[in-house]
Amino acid sequence: MFKIKTINHAQMDMNSYLLIKKNDVVIVDPGFNGKTILDRVKESGYHIQAILLTHGHYDHIRDVEMLYKKDTCKVYIHKDDYKALYNSNINYSKTFGSSFVLNKEIAITLLNDNEKINILNETIKVIHTPGHTFGSVMYEYNKYIFSGDTIFYDSIGRTDLFSGNFNAIRKSINMIKENLSNNKQILPGHGKSGSFQEIKQNNRYLQ
């Protein structure tokens, strides 16, 4: 089983997650936390096996290359957000004063809805939740849901950026309400975590 550790970038209140099993680690959304993650990885002697991206926005993808250079790991993203990796207008790096594009030498594995990723004899399920972006996904591992910017503790992801669509995210939210059990632990891309039951009580979009 993976142990889950959260790393938070205080300025952006952006969460990255480490899924740790013995000396191996899977990273969800390295974002701006790459240096902190890399220090933790080196200090603990971890080998990075994979990087899972919930979507293609700059604050979730910027430090992929830094970590990839450490262990040449697999990098996963939904097929509908692939273009964001190589277009600074789509990934909104220009908002942060950058013109970021991912190094094309990094091999990317494209994902589909309901696909199951097998890593270190553990299974992680892909749940496609378009709305914040075309290719936004959540990753389900046991009781944990890494929800990216689809749902937060008390809100949902914005839909006014490229490929955002409010009707699409409402459809995704309805699907989530119908399919997630209350005891699932929601680990979002920003802000605090909580059980799905708790979040439903505090998030008007889920009521």
For residue 88, pLDDT over 90 is answered with: yes
For residue 174, pLDDT over 90 is answered with: yes
Domains identified in the chain, total number: 1
What is the rounded average pLDDT of the residues 134-153?
A: 98
Q: Which of 121, 127, 176, 119 is nearest to 151 (CA)?
A: 176
Residue type, 149: D
User: Residue 201: pLDDT band by 50, 70, 90 thresholds?
Assistant: very high
Residue 64 buriedness (CB in 10 A; 0-12 / 13-18 / 19+) = buried
Query: Whole domain around residue 138: which residue ranges?
Result: 3-206
For residue 95, pLDDT over 90 is answered with: no
pLDDT at position 108:
97
Residue 163 sits in a domain whose CATH number is 3.60.15.10
3-state SS assignment for residue 57: coil
What is the rounded average pLDDT of the residues 198-204?
A: 96
- Out of 77-86, 90-99, 147-156, pick the least confident: 90-99
* Mean of the per-residue pLDDT values of the chain: 96
